[in-house]
Each structure stands twice: as C-alpha cells, then as structure tokens.
Amino acid sequence: MRSVRFVLPVVLMSVSTVAFAQSVAQCDAQCDAQSIVHYVAQSVTRSVLRSVVQSAVQSVAQSDAHKMDAPKTPVVSDAQKSFDQLKTLAGTWQGSVKATPSDPEIDNAKLAITLRVTSRGNALVHEMQEAGTPLDSTKYDHPVTMLYLDGDKLNLIHYCDAGNRPHMVARPSAEGKRVEFDFADLSGGNEYGHMYHAVFTIIDADHHTEDWTYMMPGDKPMQVRMDLKRAQ
C-alpha cells in the first residue's frame, strides 16, 4: 500500500505536466493565465478518470480470471450418497423374516443374502435365497436385484421369480443410512403380483434391515422385514 501511495502523486504530477504542455501548445498568445489553468484542470480530471476506469476494469478482469482458475468442489448428489452407503453392504448376510400380515410359511424363515459391487463400481447386485438351499432355479426362489445410478436418480430393478421386473426409484436422502425406493413401472406380467416397495436401513457395519412390500393379486400388499447380520 505504501508503494501505491508513493506512485500515485508522481503519476498525477506527470499527467498534470503533460496536460499543461498540451494546453500551452493549443492556446495562442491571447490566452490568459485563468483560461490555461481551467483547461489544464479539465484535462487532468479527464486523464485521472480514464486511469481510474482502466484500473477498475483490469481489477475486475483479474478477479474473474482468478475465480475461473480456482478449483471447484465437486457436488455429490443425494442419490450418489445413498448409492455409496448401499455399496458398503457388499458381502454375505444371514437373518430371519417376519411378514405383515403374518404368514406361517414366511415367518422366521432363514435367508442368505449376498450383495456385491460390479461393473467398475457402477452397479450393486443383490441376490436372495433361502439359507442352506442350492442354486436350483427349478426348485428354489432366487430373485436378483440390480441397483444403479442414472443421472441424479438411484434406480432399482428387481428380477422377480414371479416373472416380472418392477422398477423403483429411491427417494432423495442426504443422510443415506435409510434408502427408500418407490415403485415406478413394471415390465412383464402381473398375474402373480409384483414387488412394489423396498427400504434398506443401515444400523451399523454388520447389521442392516430390509423391508420389501409385495403387491399381491387384487392389490393386496404384503410386507416382509429381513433382519440381517453380516456372516462371519
């Protein structure tokens, strides 16, 4: 700042000298001293204003250039946060099931669930089956669910043993520990009903719950809760 205060008077003196010389050159012998002073004052004022405006324009341009060059913090969408949280569930899980309304064939059944990240981190595969059963599609259910991002939406497609593929979309959730999916559309037939709603709730690194709602024929919902612990 001291250098600026020192330079400014020198600049003004130089501008005044130049303006005075110009005024003398343009004024004939009949010009009186008052006219010369008035002309010089106007010239100095115009010169100073031009200098101030030019400096201001340069300062704004440099400031804008600095803002453009500054690194930008990437914005992480709620969908990305939820997807990242769900990917922490990768692994094998075991647990029991509770149906609402109660169903003796479902209640307390033992499940084995596997989640794995695939496609270079762009998809999460969820596989479900009855614990202790082989992968025999002719005798046992083995539904597969795919989760993936599409823009700012987290999508779920459930490849159901009922022969259809319900599509759901996650609700926005900045916290990400609870991810809720709402029904969007259905591919395939609906003769036996279809999966309609899903909620993943992360309790800790080794414990999470899943709530799945199945829409029975006649639009009668049945909800099952899976209380799952990470297999050791």
Q: What pLDDT score does 202 carry?
A: 97
Asked if residue 39 and residue 145 are part of one domain, the reply reads no
- Identify the CA nearest to 158 among candidates 210, 205, 204: 210
Q: What pLDDT score does 207 carry?
A: 98
Written as six digits, the tokens of 87 are 């990917």
Tell me which residue range forms the domain holding 55. Answer: 2-69
Written as six digits, the tokens of 48 are 């100073």
For residues 169 and 82, give the distance between their C-alpha atoms in angstroms, rounded to a whole number.
Answer: 12
Asked if residue 208 and residue 149 are part of one domain, the reply reads yes
Amino acid at the residue 202: I
For residues 217 and 123, give the distance between their C-alpha atoms in angstroms, rounded to a whole number.
Answer: 31
Q: Please tell me the pTM assigned to this model.
A: 0.69
Report how many domains make up the chain. Answer: 2
Listed residues 69, 96, 112: the one ending a domain: 69
Q: What pLDDT score does 188 carry?
A: 97
Asked if residue 42 and residue 112 are part of one domain, the reply reads no
Asked if residue 42 and residue 98 are part of one domain, the reply reads no
How large a percentage of the chain has pLDDT more than 70? 70
Q: Is there a contact between 122 and 149 (Cβ–Cβ < 8 Å)?
A: yes
Asked if residue 147 and residue 34 are part of one domain, the reply reads no
| Contacts for 19-24: CB closer than 8 Å, 24+ residues apart | 19/43, 19/44, 19/47
Asked if residue 183 and residue 86 are part of one domain, the reply reads yes
For residues 197 and 163, give the distance between their C-alpha atoms in angstroms, rounded to a whole number.
Answer: 17
If you average pLDDT over residues 145-156, what whole number do you get? Answer: 97
| Residues near 175 by beta carbon (within 8 Å), at least 6 away in sequence | 81
| Residues near 123 by beta carbon (within 8 Å), at least 6 away in sequence | 117, 146, 147, 148
Q: Looking at residue 140, what DSSP letter applies?
A: S
Asked if residue 116 and residue 28 are part of one domain, the reply reads no
Residue 185 β-bridge partners: 167
If you average pLDDT over residues 75-96, what whole number do you get? Answer: 95
Which residue would you say has higher pLDDT here, 4 or 34? 34
The residue assigned the tokens 């110009």 is 22
For residues 111 and 210, give the distance between their C-alpha atoms in angstroms, rounded to a whole number.
Answer: 12
Asked if residue 56 and residue 38 are part of one domain, the reply reads yes
- CATH number at 145 reads 2.40.128.20
**Banded pLDDT at 16 (limits 50, 70, 90):** very low
Asked if residue 142 and residue 63 are part of one domain, the reply reads no
Asked if residue 208 and residue 112 are part of one domain, the reply reads yes
